[in-house]
């Protein structure tokens, strides 16, 4: 369990993390979403005690990170896969980490096998691809068999097989009752992995809810209708109190009316409808709608909406 | 992977002894220093520099001994002739190792992982410095004695060769090894403060070599007051020397050593305070 209470980190006058409170619970994958520069990495650094908060607290199982007696057994983290000494072999890298917490050597070989790096264990990590580096970072996080796992952008640089592998791993770790906290800018990846979401923008909390709830919030219960007569159907649903917007040729997104009602209106007006279903708004769209105001650098006219 | 499928409580019970402490951090830091090539390169260079100097210098002195003026013979210090190269050249090289031991953690980003697995920063810092000191001391002691014995063997024809039981001889040989070790720690402190390899090596060379040279440009009365307090201590006239020291502006060998030690301690403490205060 990770608990942040009014967590704040300022660099000069800029707040990277601004009055953030959340609880990350065991037994599920919690996704950590936000646009670039939203403060995701800073939040993770605060959790790990690498940065000191300007105000507020963040605890791991009730203690701040520097006070954990067996840090590797309580939390395993992958922040930056390239943050290893490239001149050291994969095995020696893991060994020097394991030794600080009295983790036996056989566990080093075990995690190397688990992430599929046994064959290159003796090779210096300088020559590793980004995918291999990610696996090495994940091996380091797993060394202490920790109850809490934190991954910052873990699928970066992984091939589709690697992405599937880490998705399965995270689901498995959560199913074992562990706390899994993962950030990603690939929102589609979150949709397939996370049970719960914490969304931040400009260091502030935007949403803290179940995945399904988050998507529902963003979609506003829209209905997608495909019809060869979009103008006529749009006029008919508008007359019935709904709103309609053309999505693309022959498709309408209707809000304010149910599918049944839209079907009845079409039938009464003698209009042909080929498809009628709830619009499945992707996480990406929901995310864009929610964070539209909090993106740090809008691609808009200069001087407009730069500060909240 | 049976451990992966057990419950949280069972996992906690299964690992009662996974605690991070200083002893374990020392072991970890030893693994770190022995698993990168720069350690071997720098230490090999220290050995080569120390031995090569002893061979070249002592063989040269022995060859010229017959032509040497009596006052030069009287001023000849066979101990110093064999070990001063290790002190001067070894310092040059060990500075690089001392800086790298800590600055490479920052240049690679490894420091963030190191401080995550062992969040007691003073322990990480202390273990790093202790391992650096132990490894450097071991290599420097062996090299100093090797340089001494090789040098004295080459000087045997002069009948002036020193023995370890001679006055101040053991002190000069051991002092050389300690001096090299202290130089490594001096550089380590700078590395911790500046967190940059290039910056810290430049600063170390500046303080150890440039500042003493610049000080000589001071008016002589000022220089007389300043000379004994220069960083790095006086190697040629005191630390590696077995002869009576005639410069009243310098401390004794151990005094000069203490001055260098004090500078090193200041840098090490400043580095520790900054490591504990700054975001990693």
* Block mean pLDDT (10 aa), chain B, length 280: 53 71 96 96 97 96 92 91 95 97 96 96 98 98 98 93 93 96 98 97 95 90 90 84 84 91 97 96
Nearest CA-CA partner of B187 in B251, B266, B94: B94
Q: Among all chains, which residue has been given the structure tokens 């979009």?
A: A230
Report the pLDDT value the prediction gives residue A298, as an integer from 0 to 100. Answer: 46
Nearest to B24 among A65, A66, A100 (CB): A100
ipTM passes above 0.85? yes
Nearest to A95 among B20, B31, B280 (CB): B31
Q: Which residues of B touch A45 (CB under 8 A)?
A: 112, 279
Helix (H, G, I), strand (E, B) or coil at B28: helix
Which residue does chain B place closest to A113, by CA atoms? B1
Nearest to A176 among B4, B37, B117 (CB): B4
Nearest CA-CA partner of A208 in A59, A46, A2: A2
Chain mean position to CA A288: 14
What is the CATH number that goes with domain A2-210? 3.40.50.300
Q: Does residue B66 belong to the interface with chain A, where contact is any CB pair within 8 Å? A: no
- Given an 8 Å threshold on Cβ–Cβ distance, is B113 in contact with A86? no
The model's pTM is 0.86
Q: How far is B42 from chain A (nearest CA, A)?
A: 15
Nearest CA-CA partner of A286 in A31, A7, A25: A31
Alpha helices, H only, chain A: 40-47, 71-74, 90-100, 105-114, 130-142, 160-175, 187-193, 211-219, 230-239, 259-269, 283-291
- Given an 8 Å threshold on Cβ–Cβ distance, is B4 in contact with A85? no
Chain mean position to CA A154: 10
Q: Which residues of B touch A140 (CB under 8 A)?
A: 113
Round to whole Å and give the CA distance between B277 and B2: 41
- Given an 8 Å threshold on Cβ–Cβ distance, is A70 in contact with B20? yes
* Block mean pLDDT (10 aa), chain A, length 308: 96 92 96 88 96 96 93 95 94 97 96 96 94 94 96 85 90 96 80 89 89 71 86 90 81 85 91 86 68 55 39
Q: Which residues of B touch A139 (CB under 8 A)?
A: none
Round to whole Å and give the CA distance between A88 and A49: 25
Nearest CA-CA partner of A91 in A108, A76, A78: A108
Would you tell me which residues 91-120 of chain B have a C-beta closer than 8 angstroms to some C-beta of chain A?
104-105, 108-110, 112-120
Strands (E) in B104-195, as ranges, are none
Q: Among all chains, which residue has been given the structure tokens 């005094």?
A: B255
Tokens of B152: 């004295």
Does residue A93 contact residue A137 with C-beta atoms inside 8 Å?
no
Please list, residue by residue across B240-278, b when 16 or more beta carbons sit within 10 angstroms of its beta carbon and e when fewer do: bbbbeeeeeebbebeebbebbbebbeebbeebbeebeee
- Given an 8 Å threshold on Cβ–Cβ distance, is B15 in contact with A145? yes
Q: Which residues pair with A223 in a beta bridge?
A: A254, A278
Tokens of B74: 């009287």
- Given an 8 Å threshold on Cβ–Cβ distance, is B15 in contact with A144? yes
Q: Which residues of A touch B39 (CB under 8 A)?
A: none
- Given an 8 Å threshold on Cβ–Cβ distance, is A49 in contact with B29? no
Q: Where are the domains of chain A?
A: 2-210, 221-280
Long-range contacts at A8-15 (CB < 8 A, ≥ 24 apart) = A8/A53, A8/A54, A8/A55, A8/A56, A9/A39, A9/A42, A9/A46, A9/A51, A9/A53, A9/A54, A9/A203, A10/A54, A15/A202, A15/A203
User: B65: part of which helix (H) or strand (E)?
Assistant: none
Q: Where are the domains of chain B?
A: 24-277
Q: Does residue B28 belong to the interface with chain A, where contact is any CB pair within 8 Å? A: yes
Q: Which residues of A touch B5 (CB under 8 A)?
A: 176
Report the pLDDT value the prediction gives residue B174, as an integer from 0 to 100. Answer: 96
What is the CATH number that goes with domain A221-280? 3.30.70
Report the pLDDT value the prediction gives residue A303, as an integer from 0 to 100. Answer: 41
């Amino acid at each position: 369990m990770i608990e942040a209470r009014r967590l704040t980190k300022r660099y000069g006058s800029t707040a990277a993390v601004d009055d953030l409170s959340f609880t990350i619970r065991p037994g599920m994958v919690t996704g950590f979403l936000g646009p670039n520069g939203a403060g995701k990495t800073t939040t993770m650094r605060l959790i790990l005690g690498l940065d000191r908060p300007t105000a507020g607290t963040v605890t791991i199982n009730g203690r701040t990170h520097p006070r954990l007696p067996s840090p590797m057994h309580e939390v395993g983290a992958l922040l930056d896969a390239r943050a290893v000494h490239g001149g050291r072999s994969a095995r020696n890298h893991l060994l020097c980490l394991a030794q600080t917490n009295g983790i036996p050597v056989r566990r080093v070989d075990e995690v190397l096998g688990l992430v599929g790096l046994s064959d290159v264990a003796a090779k210096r990590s300088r020559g590793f691809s980004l995918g291999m580096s990610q696996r090495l970072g994940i091996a380091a996080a797993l060394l202490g068999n920790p109850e809490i796992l934190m991954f910052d952008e873990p699928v970066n640089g992984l091939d589709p097989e690697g992405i599937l592998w880490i998705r399965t791993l995270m689901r498995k770790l959560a199913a074992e009752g562990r706390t899994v906290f993962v950030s990603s800018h690939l929102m589609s990846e979150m949709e397939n992995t996370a049970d719960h979401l914490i969304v931040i923008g400009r260091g502030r909390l935007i949403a803290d809810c179940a995945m399904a709830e988050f998507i529902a919030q963003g979609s506003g219960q829209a209905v997608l209708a495909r019809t060869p007569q979009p103008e006529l159907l749009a006029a008919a649903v508008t007359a019935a109190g709904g709103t309609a917007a053309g999505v693309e040729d022959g498709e309408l997104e209707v809000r304010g009316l149910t599918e049944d009602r839209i079907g009845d209106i079409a039938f009464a007006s003698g209009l042909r409808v080929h498809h009628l279903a709830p619009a499945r708004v992707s996480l990406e769209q929901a995310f864009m709608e929610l964070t539209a105001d909090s993106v740090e650098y809008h691609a808009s006219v200069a001087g407009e909406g730069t500060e909240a | 992977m049976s451990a992966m499928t057990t419950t949280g409580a069972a996992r906690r019970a299964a690992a009662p002894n996974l605690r991070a402490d200083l002893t374990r951090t020392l072991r970890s830091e030893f693994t770190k220093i022995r698993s990168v090539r720069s350690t071997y390169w720098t230490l090999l260079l220290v050995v080569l520099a120390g031995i090569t100097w002893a061979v070249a210098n002592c063989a040269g002195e022995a060859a010229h001994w017959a032509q040497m003026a009596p006052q030069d013979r009287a001023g000849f210090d066979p101990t110093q002739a064999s070990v001063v190269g290790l002190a001067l050249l070894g310092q040059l090289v060990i500075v690089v190792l001392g800086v790298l031991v800590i600055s490479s953690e920052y240049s690679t980003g490894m420091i963030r992982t190191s401080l995550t697995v062992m969040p007691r920063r003073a322990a990480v810092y202390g273990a790093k410095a202790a391992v650096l000191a132990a490894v450097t001391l071991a290599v420097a002691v062996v090299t100093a004695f090797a340089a001494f014995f090789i040098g004295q063997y080459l000087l045997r024809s002069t009948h002036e060769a020193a023995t370890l039981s001679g006055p101040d001889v053991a002190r000069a040989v051991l002092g050389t090894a300690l001096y090299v070790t202290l130089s490594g720690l001096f550089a380590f402190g700078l590395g911790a403060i500046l967190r940059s390899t290039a910056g810290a090596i430049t600063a170390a060379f500046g303080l150890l070599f440039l500042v003493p040279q610049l000080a000589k440009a001071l008016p002589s009365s000022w220089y007389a007051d300043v000379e004994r307090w220069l960083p790095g201590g006086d190697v040629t006239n005191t630390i590696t020397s077995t002869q009576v020291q005639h410069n009243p502006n310098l401390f004794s060998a151990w005094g000069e050593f203490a001055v260098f030690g004090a500078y090193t301690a200041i840098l090490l403490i400043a580095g520790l305070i900054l490591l504990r205060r700054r975001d990693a």
